């Protein structure tokens, strides 16, 4: 696990972790990484449930599972040859008009 790209969500809220996970997956598809690690911690399982829900719904994910040695981490395997479809999953940009 030490060599895997890792996203640490400790201290994040559920809604902000969704954006971070999507961006992290996009970045790793661009970099052609096939396996990544998302650290959500153990706690009450709120972040883990949020992360697993996103991963389950994301068709770019081959499989995901809790790390055997660290239950506060989820290992994610990304399907190959997805960089072409990356634009379909880009996070929307929100423009804020200043007064």
DSSP-assigned beta bridge partners for residue 39: 8, 73
Q: Is the Cα dihedral 5, 23, 59, 40 positive or negative? A: positive
**C-alpha–C-alpha distance, residues 89 and 99, integer Å:** 31
Contacts of 96 (CB under 8 A, 6+ apart): none
Contacts of 99 (CB under 8 A, 6+ apart): none
The mean per-residue pLDDT over the stretch 23-42 comes to: 94
pTM: 0.81
**C-alpha–C-alpha distance, residues 67 and 11, integer Å:** 20
Contacts of 69 (CB under 8 A, 6+ apart): 1
The domains of the chain, with CATH numbers, are 6-89 (3.30.1370.110)
What are the tens digits of pLDDT across the range 44-95? Answer: 999 999 999 999 999 999 999 999 999 999 999 999 876 555 555 555 555 5
């Amino acid at each position: 696990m030490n060599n895997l790209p890792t996203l640490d969500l400790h201290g994040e809220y559920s809604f902000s972790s969704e954006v971070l996970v999507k961006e992290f997956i996009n970045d790793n598809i661009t970099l052609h990484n096939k396996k990544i690690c998302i650290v959500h911690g153990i706690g009450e399982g709120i972040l883990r449930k949020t992360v697993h829900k996103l991963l389950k719904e994301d068709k770019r994910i081959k499989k995901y599972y809790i790390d055997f040695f660290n239950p506060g981490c989820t290992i994610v395997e990304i399907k190959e040859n997805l960089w072409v479809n990356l634009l379909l999953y880009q996070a929307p940009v929100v423009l804020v008009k200043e007064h």
